C-alpha cells in the first residue's frame, strides 16, 4: 500500500469530508431533536429558566459536584478527564496548530509537547478505567453492547496513535495514517452515535434544570 498517498488523501480531502459531515450531521441532528422536543416535550418550554439550566450544566461539569459523582469518585474523575481531554487537547497540540497555520493562516494557543504527552497518557488511563468498569461491573456490562465497546476503543485510537507517531514508535507511516483515519472516522460517526452526548449534553442538562428547578423547585444535583 502507498502510505504516502493515503496520508495525503486523508490530510486533504479526508479532512474536508470528515469536518463537513461532522458539522452538517450535528446541525441536522440538533434541528431534528429540537423538532421532536417541540412535539413531545412542549411543557418544558412553558417553564424555561436559564438560571436553573446553567446551574445544572455547571454542577455536572464539576468533578464531585453532584451526589452521584461523590458516590463514585474514581468513576467521576475518569469520566471528567476523559471528556475534558477529548474535547480540548486536539486544539492545543502544537503539531495540529502548525497544520492549521499552513492551511488557514492562523493557529490557536499551544501547550508544550511534554504536557501534551502527560494529558494523552491520562486520557488513555481514563479510557482504560471506563473500559474496565464496563467489563467488571455486572450492571454496566448488562447494559453495554458491542457498539459501546467499539466507540470507546475508537475514541482512544487517535490519542494512542498520535502518541506513538510523535515518539516514532513502530512503523511511522502506518501509524500516522491510522491516526488520521481513526480521527476522521470518529468525526463522521460522532453526530450519529452516542458520542454526540458530548455536545448535546448542554441541552439535556438544561432541560433537566428547567424541569427540576424551574418547575418543581428542586435541585437536580
CATH of the domain at 155: 1.20.950
Q: What's the structural domain count of the chain?
A: 1
- Could you tell me if 156 and 142 are in contact, meaning their C-beta atoms sit under 8 angstroms apart? no
Query: Where does the pLDDT of residue 25 fall: very low under 50, low under 70, confident under 90, or very high at 90 and above?
Result: very high
Q: Is residue 59 part of a domain?
A: yes
Q: Quick one: cell of 42?
A: 412542549
pTM of the model: 0.86
Residues 27-32: contacts with CB under 8 Å, at least 24 apart: 28/191, 29/191, 29/192, 29/196, 29/200, 30/200, 30/203
pLDDT tops 90 at residue 35: no
pLDDT tens digit sequence for 46-65: 777 778 788 888 887 887 77
Which of these ranges, 118-127, 177-186, 202-211, has the smallest mean pLDDT? 202-211
Structural domain harbouring 169: 3-215
Q: Is residue 92 part of a domain?
A: yes
Q: Is residue 221 part of a domain?
A: no
pLDDT at 221: 65
Q: Is residue 28 part of a domain?
A: yes
CA-CA-CA-CA torsion sign (186, 191, 196, 200) = positive
Q: How large is the average pLDDT for residues 84-109?
A: 89
Q: Quick one: cell of 134?
A: 464496563
Amino acid at each position: 500500500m502507498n502510505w504516502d498517498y493515503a496520508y495525503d488523501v486523508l490530510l486533504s480531502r479526508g479532512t474536508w469530508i470528515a469536518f463537513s459531515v461532522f458539522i452538517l450531521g450535528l446541525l441536522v441532528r440538533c434541528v431534528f431533536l429540537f423538532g421532536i422536543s417541540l412535539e413531545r416535550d412542549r411543557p418544558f418550554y412553558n417553564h424555561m429558566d436559564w438560571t436553573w439550566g446553567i446551574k445544572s450544566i455547571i454542577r455536572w461539569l464539576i468533578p464531585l459536584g453532584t451526589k452521584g459523582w461523590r458516590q463514585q469518585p474514581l468513576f467521576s474523575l475518569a469520566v471528567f478527564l476523559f471528556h475534558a481531554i477529548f474535547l480540548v487537547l486536539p486544539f492545543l497540540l502544537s503539531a495540529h496548530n502548525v497544520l492549521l497555520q499552513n492551511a488557514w493562516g492562523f493557529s490557536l494557543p499551544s501547550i508544550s509537547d511534554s504536557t501534551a504527552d502527560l494529558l494523552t497518557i491520562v486520557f488513555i488511563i481514563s479510557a482504560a478505567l471506563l473500559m474496565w468498569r464496563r467489563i467488571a461491573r455486572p450492571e454496566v456490562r448488562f447494559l453495554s453492547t458491542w457498539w459501546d465497546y467499539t466507540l470507546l476503543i475508537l475514541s482512544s485510537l487517535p490519542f494512542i496513535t498520535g502518541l506513538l507517531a510523535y515518539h516514532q514508535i513502530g512503523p511511522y507511516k502506518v501509524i500516522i495514517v491510522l491516526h488520521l483515519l481513526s480521527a476522521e472516522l470518529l468525526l463522521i460517526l460522532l453526530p450519529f452515535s452516542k458520542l454526540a452526548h458530548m455536545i448535546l449534553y448542554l441541552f439535556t442538562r438544561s432541560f433537566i434544570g428547567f424541569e427540576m428547578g424551574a418547575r418543581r423547585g428542586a435541585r437536580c444535583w
